[in-house]
Amino acid sequence: MHPDARRLNRWSWIFIAAGTARTLIFPVIGATVVSGGVLLARLDLLSLIFIVPALVYAVIKQKVYNYRFTESELVVRDGLLTRNVRHISYERIHNVTLVRNPFHRMLGLVTARVETAAGGKPEALLRVLSLEAAEELRRYTLGEQEETTSTDAPLLQVPDRELVRLGLISNRGFLVVAVVLGGVSQTQWWDQDWAAILEKVRARAPEWMGWLFESWSITGGVLFGVVFALCFLVLLRLVSIGWYLVRYRGFTLQQKDNDLRAEYGLLTKVSSLIPVHRIQLVTVSVTFLHRCFGRASIDLETAGASDAGSDLSGQLATSGVHNTRQWLAPIVEAERATELLREVLPEIDIDAVEWEPIEARAVRRIVNRAAMIITPVTLIIAAVLTFTPIPLSGWYALWLPAVTLSIIWLITRRWVRRAGYALTDCAIFFRSGWLGRQISVVRFVNMQTVSMHQSPFDHRKRMASLAVDTAGAGGLGHRIRIPFLDVDIAESILKRLYVETRSTEFRW
């Protein structure tokens, strides 16, 4: 071991073992359910199979793991059988995220994730460090000042009532309920004699409700359905509110020198540092529900790893989807959103840009294409109505194109009118949305390649779409992809963007 090397905290083995246990918990629960509880009776066997090796692994890992700071890099040494030495230069480090759950706090410890542009998994996971060691890590890797120097007023603080609003706005509840329902369906809970249960309920119900249970009562069925749907919706929103209150409680965004620090979490406290120059793309979202509450959300993409997957709820919520976005502001008053963005990135002023429209011809193109699909369907329905004994004239089939096409026309017209792009001397903006609106911004320094695409339809109508590629772009979310541009305009923007990127240098 190098003389300067630092070890993990002496309690590390507990947290390493807990981490292993967490990845095993679902397979174990699954195995228990499948075996019909047989495994539960053999806890001794289970512990031998899972717990002992996990503990041994944790103890060894703690002994082997060490790290040191050199002039320019963090050197992490790991691995028992295959020695693994990782050199991470401070330059490449985008973010050091500190995570503290209640156990961490009880012992005054912290888990540190060192993130680079590689994305996906953190470059190094230091589980666990004392608070002083974590401060030292941040000082070396990010050149950060001592904690006490940050006395600036926070850029944003999200009180609880705002988180409740966020829970109402967001659809996060869907994911959690879906996961829960998925688990319930595994237990075959649905395989019950529902008719018998209905009988029981009917026997207990007061007299005046009897009509609800008349066989084939349509009113009863509809009423039952509506009540069920309402309960489900309320449940969704409650879960959603709860999720946000636990995960984002006390969200605070602070400016420190040139970096941003976000802190949040009720049980698991997360403290995440975002170097401003590493922000690749920013999106301001105002969905329909946001608009009802007069709020907006701002998220951003850094080229580094995501903030997801740090705890169980995070894993549930983002399972399977690689999300590279993180919040700049989970919820903020709509009027304050652009101002906040300006405080963080002074060169980006959404209020000041002059929006250019996309081609209005796009509406006709989309409606025409929809008509091409709907026409044969209409003809088939008309034929069926005419040649079968259904007592309706074939002309009734015309209702279908009349209704659908006018709806499609209304929606696309609104979408096309509200979509637009803008170029300033340092960034490109794109906005879109039918009921709500999302605006994405990429600064020229952060653009990688610029491209123009034409489908055969685009080509025939002399249109094209324009795309800007950035580092660390996840599959999800709004980004700079401008459709339905006139091909000549698209070519000239393409050229302009190329000239802009050519003359600037990309900094990681």
Partner 1 sequence: MVDGEEHQVDPRSVKVARIIGVPLTLLFAMVPLIAFTLGKVLRGMPTRIYLSLLGGLLVLLALFLLVAYLWPAARHRRLRYLVDEGGLRIRRGVFWRMVIWIPITRVQHTDFSQGPVQRRFGLATLTVHTAGTAGASISLEGLEYEIAKRLCEHLRPDRVTHAS
Q: How near is the Cβ of 93 to partner 1 at its closest, in Å?
A: 16
Cα–Cα distance for residue pair 323/376, rounded to 1 Å: 41
**Cβ 426 to partner 1, closest distance in Å?**
15
CB closer to partner 1, 140 vs 506: 506
Q: Which is nearer to partner 1, 2 or 459 (CB)?
A: 459
The residue (of 346 and 475) whose beta carbon lies closer to partner 1 is 475
Q: Which of 104, 479 has the CB closer to partner 1?
A: 479
Write the secondary structure of 481-507 as one string of H (helix), E (strand) and C (coil).
Answer: EEEEEEHHHHHHHHHHHHHHHHCCCCC
Give, as one character, the DSSP assignment of residue 397.
G
Nearer to partner 1, 88 or 447 (CB): 447
CA–CA distance, 252 with 234 (Å, rounded to integer):
28
Shortest distance (Å) from residue 214 CB to partner 1? 59
Question: Cβ distance 234 to 61 under 8 Å?
Answer: no
Instruction: State which residue, 274 or 473, has the beta carbon closest to partner 1.
Output: 473
Which one, 269 or 365, has the nearer CB to partner 1? Answer: 365
Tell the smallest beta-carbon distance from residue 357 to partner 1 (Å): 22
- CB-nearer residue toward partner 1: 419 or 447: 447
268 or 501: whose CB is closer to partner 1? Answer: 501
Of 338, 498, 478, the residue nearest 419 (C-alpha):
478
- Could you tell me the smallest distance in angstroms from the CB atom of residue 469 to partner 1? 4
Question: 151-154 long-range CB contacts below 8 Å, 24 or more apart?
Answer: 152/254, 152/255, 152/256, 154/252, 154/253, 154/254
Name residue, tokens 């003389």: 3
Give the nearest distance from C-beta 305 to partner 1 in angstroms. Answer: 14
Report the DSSP beta bridge partners of residue 326.
300
**Residue 278 · residue 508 · CB < 8 Å:** yes
Q: Of the two residues 157 and 504, which places its CB atom closer to partner 1 in the complex?
A: 504
Question: By the criterion CB under 8 A, which residues form the site for partner 1?
Answer: 117, 303, 447-456, 459, 467, 469-474, 491, 494-495, 497-499, 501-506, 508
Question: How many CA atoms lie within 13 Å of 372's alpha carbon, on the beta-carbon side?
Answer: 6
Nearer to partner 1, 68 or 277 (CB): 277
CB of 464 to partner 1, least distance (A): 8
- Strands (E) across 244-344 are located at 252-256, 259-264, 269-275, 279-286, 295-302, 325-333
Contact 414, 438 (CB under 8 A): no
CB of 503 to partner 1, least distance (A): 8
Cis (ω within 30 of 0) for the bond into 59?
A: no
- The Cα 393–Cα 401 span in angstroms is 16
> Among candidates 234, 9, 226, which has minimal Cα distance to 131?
9
Smallest distance from the beta carbon of 488 to partner 1, in angstroms?
A: 13
3-state secondary structure of 11: coil
Q: Which of 425, 406, 292, 411 is CA-nearest to residue 362?
A: 411
Angle formed by the axes of helices 160-169 and 218-248, nearest 10° = 140
**CA angle, 259 then 264 then 269, to 5°:** 110
Torsion of CA 270, 276, 279, 284, to 10 degrees: 80
Give me the least distance between CB of 53 and partner 1, in Å please: 38
Q: How far is the CB of 282 from partner 1 (least distance, A)?
A: 16
> 10 vs 453, which CB is nearer to partner 1?
453
Minimal distance, residue 498 CB to partner 1, in Å: 4
- CA–CA–CA angle 58, 20, 6 (5° rounding): 40
Find the shortest distance in angstroms from Cβ 478 to partner 1.
15
Q: Which is nearer to partner 1, 434 or 506 (CB)?
A: 506
Give the separation between CA 432 and CA 1, rounded to whole angstroms. Answer: 56
In the structure encoding, which two tokens stand for residue 209, read together? 């409700």
